[in-house]
Amino acid sequence: AQSVTQLGSHVSVSEGALVLLRCNYSSSVPPYLFWYVQYPNQGLQLLLKYTTGATLVKGINGFEAEFKKSETSFHLTKPSAHMSDAAEYFCAVRVPYGNNRLAFGKGNQVVVIP
Amino acid sequence: NAGVTQTPKFRVLKTGQSMTLLCAQDMNHEYMYWYRQDPGMGLRLIHYSVGEGTTAKGEVPDGYNVSRLKKQNFLLGLESAAPSQTSVYFCASSSGTRLVATFGSGTRLTVV
């Protein structure tokens, strides 16, 4: 079964500092991986995705993630946090042969400290 | 282009009452999904549909039923609401060719 692990439910980062959110997955086949962001009282919005090809993926709002097969990881980073980055972030893996179903991690609530 | 629209946005039910949540998408997507979001649990799949007239169970289907009579609509029903069903419910849709799911803005349901 596919699963996603996100450690640390709450992450505090100072404005201007590096944002690093860790995601590890298990998958029986080459994975398709996603990061979604949820702003308060809103639905989920795609930040970026990895399917095939280049392992460093750039997304919206200055975020990027790197797929590392040997580490089964897909960590999300942003060099400099902005107050508007305060949100909840979810890592997800596509379930193989699962009709595009996604398995989600438990999420990271990011707080940006001025 | 509305994307995925969920109604209602908020609802309070008494234990034992029934209700239906409506999800509508205007992107001609084949696949539709219902998730529930609970603090510290992420999103868990309740039911999903791969096309008009088809439905299938997800991770946490108990206590819920669904129907997909029209391609653009996916209904989630609670026949006898329980406090454990207090949650935020999200509908999503995706196409067979694109991998990205589009989410609605959610329905916050409280069962008292």
Q: What is the pLDDT of residues A15-41, one digit of tens each?
A: 999 999 999 998 777 789 999 999 988
CA–chain centroid gap for B38, Å, is: 14
Q: Give the pLDDT band (50/70/90) at residue B19.
A: very high
In the predicted structure, residue B39 carries a pLDDT above the cut 90: no
Report chain B residues whose CB lies below 8 A from the CB of A43: 4, 90, 103-106
- Chain B nearest C-alpha distance from A17 (Å): 25
Q: Who among B31, B40, B90 is closest to A44 (CB)? A: B90
Q: Who among A43, A49, A102 is closest to B105 (CB)? A: A43
What pLDDT score does B1 carry? 60
Strand order across the beta sheet in which B4-7 lies: B4-7, B19-25, B73-78, B65-67
Please indicate whether, in this complex, the C-beta atoms of A107 and B100 are within 8 angstroms of each other.
no
> What are B51-94's pLDDT values in tens digits?
999 999 999 999 999 999 999 999 999 999 999 999 999 999 99
Q: Which residue of B has its CA nearest to A98?
A: B50
CA distances from B98 to A87, A91, A102 (A): 26, 18, 13
Q: Who among B90, B99, B103 is closest to A51 (CB)? A: B99
